Amino acid sequence: MSQSFQKVITLSAALAISQGVVRADDRSDMFVVHEWGTFTSLQGADGRNQEGMHHEEERLPSFVEGRCGDGLAHGDAKCADFMPEPKSALAVTQKMETPVIYFYGGEGQKADVTVQFPNGLITQWFPAAAAFAPKIGQVDAVAQGSMTWQVDIKGQNEALSHQVEDGNSWLYARDVDANALTVGSSTERFIFYRGLAQFDTPFRVESDPSGQLRIINGSHEKVPAAFLLGFDGQKGFVQALGPIAGERSLPGVPTANLERDTYLKTAQRLVQSSLEESGLYKKEALSMVKTWEHSYFLTPGLRVLYVLPRTWTDRLLPLSVKPEPKDTVRTLVGRIEVMTRQEEIQSLTAMTKALDKITRFDMRPWGRLQEAKLRRLLTLSRDEKLTKSLQQALSLLNTCKDFPCR
């Protein structure tokens, strides 16, 4: 049988599974690995990624392991490994969030899985890793991260070892037909990891004072799908941009005229469809949009979501699985929080009026983006008093007990 014909059979079987014609576990002879994940950045009106993206708001289940150790909030500014200074080797411009790796078939096998992160560090993970670098307490740059897991592949119906409370987004990632994986006494549906990074992709969003947006793909590789989304807390909009090659100009930010429920259903449907087109099974695509329902769709603000070309994913996160799967699907979604020129001007004006007491300016609506937005405004300030006030606001972020700060 020719290799090309074998490939057709493999792709046809995967397509049948994704469309629900057969279940993933009905093809026990197919050893398949699927992965989905997302990473988040904030870009100013000039399309440049901003520092200060190491903060997080949603806590992971207590059984998840991390670099910060017990008693510290994993991944936030209080972690001993991460106290970033501007322009330092520890500055963070990308938050790598919730990649999960699924296994289909291969029951009874052992598998070695290694993820390399050349421009970042893996900060949280589950199940336990067999090895990782750099060692805890020996981080001198957000770079050269890696992690290896050695898992036993179990059946699909194997009991999972950790209970998670109702409503926790961890449950959505479990709602697939993948095999269970065991490491020691822990059994889970997937390998999970999360990290911090410094990297740029060729994809950026620029805006000008007139309100025009420019979506720019500076690569020769086409971005398969992109979406512009906005939500004001009550209403929203979603605009499917389709594949992006080169530049795409938009006359302005659309009006948020869809009621919350209509907007949410529309956005979920469009994004889920693009994830399935990337090769994810239907349940995987659904689990991804449900996991990120709040952050993607219901967090106030303007953002662009885009599906990375596979080659970008493989460069950012080289993956090795042994034994080698018959097929590997990796879908990474970039999430750009957009700070438009209008928002920058409005924020600078409001902060200028609050010079006598910076806490009068309520930064809570910015959520975990507070530091990144303040750092962007610092680059724009031409007033000495305003610059000092912005620096004062930044210092508050490392002293407040709760996040986001007031």
Give residue-wise pLDDT tens across range 89-105: 678 999 999 899 999 99
CA count, 13 A, side-chain hemisphere, 369: 23
How far apart (Å, rounded) are the C-alpha atoms in residues 393 and 400?
A: 11
Amino acid at site 362: D
Please tell me whether the peptide bond between 323 and the residue prior to it is cis, using omega within 30 degrees of 0: yes
Q: Residue 161 has what pLDDT? A: 97
- Does 24 score more than 70 pLDDT? no
- Does 196 score more than 80 pLDDT? yes
The two tokens of residue 279 are 């090769």
| Nearest to 244, CA basis, from 265, 223, 220 | 223
Q: Residue 392 has what pLDDT? A: 82
How far apart (Å, rounded) are the C-alpha atoms in residues 201 and 217?
A: 9
| Nearest to 127, CA basis, from 90, 154, 105 | 154
Q: Residue 28 has what pLDDT? A: 47
pTM for this one?
0.88
- Does 25 score more than 90 pLDDT? no
How far apart (Å, rounded) are the C-alpha atoms in residues 13 and 9?
A: 6
| Nearest to 78, CA basis, from 404, 405, 397 | 397
The distance in angstroms from the start CA to the end CA of the chain is 66
Longest CA pairwise span in the chain (Å): 78
Using pLDDT thresholds of 50, 70 and 90, give the confidence band for residue 333.
very high
Mean pLDDT in residue range 286-310 = 97
Contacts made by residues 184-187, CB under 8 angstroms, sequence distance 24+: 184/127, 184/128, 185/161, 186/63, 186/126, 186/127, 186/128, 186/161, 186/162, 187/154, 187/158, 187/159, 187/160, 187/161
What is the DSSP pairing of strand 327-338 with strand 32-43?
parallel
With beta carbons less than 8 A apart as the criterion, state whether 228 and 254 touch. Answer: yes
- Does 315 score more than 70 pLDDT? yes
**Residues forming a β-bridge with 321:** 113
Residues 6+ apart with CB under 8 A from 109: 31, 152, 153, 323
**Please, what is the average pLDDT of the chain?**
87
Q: Which of the listed ranges 74-78, 310-314, 360-364 does the model predict with the highest average pLDDT?
A: 310-314
